Structure 1
Amino acid sequence: MKPFPSGLGVALVTPFQDNGAIDFPALDALVDYVTAGGVDYLVALGTTAETPTLSTAERKAVLERIKSRSAGRLSLVAGIGGNDTAAVVAALHDFDLAGVDAILSVTPFYNRPSQRGLYEHFRAVADASPVPVILYNVPSRTGVNMQPQTTLKLAEETGNIIAVKEASGDMEQVDELIAGRPDGFHVLSGDDALAVPLIEKGGDGLISVVANAYPAYMAEMVGAAMAQDAKRSHRLWSDIAELEKSLFAEGNPTGIKAALSIKGLIANNLRLPLVASSPELSDRIRLLASEAGL
């Protein structure tokens, strides 16, 4: 078994019924599907889960259902973050994190803190968290980029910040993180498209959106990259590169929910302000997946 968190994690979607309620049987089926497909760990309540549209009670219910269904088969990460430090700290005390192996905490969005503000925010989160912390840097969504120096300072000066999900898209930043990280600190790709090159640089895996629909394929690709089988990992990525682009063409999780719907795993329902994929995009995803044998 790979040391946690490494290999392939999957950022689970939240299935919804036609009336907008959470579809818990579909969530159960999805957990079983990705587990059977060979992912290494589960990530609940991330961006892909449409967490901003879930009430606190719904977030707790989703987390409990995933814990119950997984029943310890895989390690579990729970997304607990935000742009109000006090509220994040309160959530860490409020949520039942028994059975959760780590939290994933995004950089504060909208209020755009300085590097010092980011450092102080995550020090407070680390101090409050009863489980290890994975930092999540995604400037395209938050409006702020956590610089490698800040990430590495947090890794060095706290006892329980164990990894960063890096989704800046900046491979020079990835180089800095990998070169400067302390022992045991993991650098994970937050972009499916950059997973193979990040792992080749010495990174530790991928937290994937695409693996919701194609877990076995993504597990094979990430496994090949981590085994330093560049020929195989590059071929596997090349074969689905156009499909991956289509899955994000109208945003996330719009595309991956379309793919899951095509496979009959969930209904193609999202909560506003997100909307379901256009018929044209759904048709393209169906065609490209078919051509790839998926």
Structure 2
Amino acid sequence: MNFGQVVTAMVTPFDDNGYVDVQGLRTLVNYLIDNGSDAIVVAGTTGEAPTLTHEEKAALFKNTVEFAGGRIPVIAGAGTNSTHAACELVQLAEQAGADAVMLSTPYYNKPSQEGMYQHFMACAGATNLPIMLYNVPGRTGVHLTAETTSRLAYDADNIVSLKDASGDLDHMTAVLSSVPASFTVYSGDDSLTLPALSIGASGIVSVSSHIIGTEMQAMINAHFSGQPRYAASLHRDLVPVMDAMFCAPSPAPVKAALELTHVHAGSVRLPLQPLSETEQHFVFQTLKRSLFSSSAV
């Protein structure tokens, strides 16, 4: 299933007291739609899902669907390391009117491939929504193999896509070679967007697209329109911004960058920390060099 070329893994806006900022969420959704996002992931890792309660996630699902108003798909982050809790979340997402759900591999408890297969099959049986799997071994401690991904894609009609943040293009190639033609694969690493497209990925689930969504669309369009040199040139221009968005634990850098572009998303929740002055300066200077005139931020 194709969710577009640039899917933004959206931050969760917080107010000055650390609560979800509903008005800020409305503003952010509209901003992302106007600036290159083909779809939005709400309450994913970038949305600080581990710090959100089920009640907050349910409200985020509902409000994001309402604010998007059918203009772009809303993908609800429903991944957790309890299969029962994940099934509850996918049902909350369906009740809220989400268009799809994203499910990360279970973290911390380090299940086997069979355990992950059974986990995802249980979640698929709990909803009619399309499911995007999320392989992110650097955060979860487990790697979803191409064989298990293929098995899930063929055994569950609503498991339709994969976000792969393994950083391994050989693995992504193996997945693409073993899944149905309708199954889509998205890079989960911003700086690998163009290389992933070259082997058959459909696009990117991105953090940096909060700031450079339009520019990333231009790069992807250049690739698909047969302008590889131009796409490569855009890629080289954008990588410094992408790297800056991960100069500290995410989403602290992108939240700081949003503030510099006059979009208020608030700070991060503990155990994350806002950027230090040195880190803020680095992000500011990177954006200034790469994107803006000195008067723009």
TM-score bin, normalised by smaller chain: over 0.9
Give yes or no for contact 1:206–1:222 (8 Å, CA) kept in 2.
no
Scaled by the length of structure 2, what TM-score is found?
0.94
- Look up the equivalent residue of 1:119 and give its one-letter code: Y
How far has the Cα of 1:61 moved from its partner?
Answer: 1.4
Q: Which residue of 2 aligns with 1:255?
A: 253
SS of equivalent to 2:40: strand
Q: Which residue of 2 aligns with 1:240?
A: 238
How far has the Cα of 1:25 moved from its partner?
Answer: 1.6
Measured against aligned partners, the alpha-carbon deviations of 1:20-54 in whole angstroms (never above 9, x if no partner) come to 11122221111111101122111111100011111
Give yes or no for contact 2:12–2:265 (8 Å, CA) kept in 1.
no
SS of equivalent to 2:149: helix
SS of equivalent to 1:77: strand
How far has the Cα of 1:106 moved from its partner?
Answer: 0.4
1:1-294 matches, cutoff 5 A: 4-294=2-292
Give yes or no for contact 1:13–1:50 (8 Å, CA) kept in 2.
yes
What is the identity percentage for the equivalent residue pairs of Structure 1 and Structure 2? Answer: 35
Between 21-30 and 146-155, the greater mean CA deviation after superposition: 21-30
Give yes or no for contact 1:200–1:228 (8 Å, CA) kept in 2.
no
Listed as ranges, the gaps of 5+ residues in structure 2 are: 293-297
SS of equivalent to 2:46: helix
> Distance between the aligned counterparts of 2:24 and 2:91, measured in 1?
29
Scaled by the length of structure 1, what TM-score is found?
0.95
How far has the Cα of 1:207 moved from its partner?
Answer: 0.6
Measured against aligned partners, the alpha-carbon deviations of 1:232-284 in whole angstroms (never above 9, x if no partner) come to 22111211212221210111101111100111101541100011111111111
> Distance between the aligned counterparts of 2:175 and 2:95, measured in 1?
28
Listed as ranges, the gaps of 5+ residues in structure 1 are: none
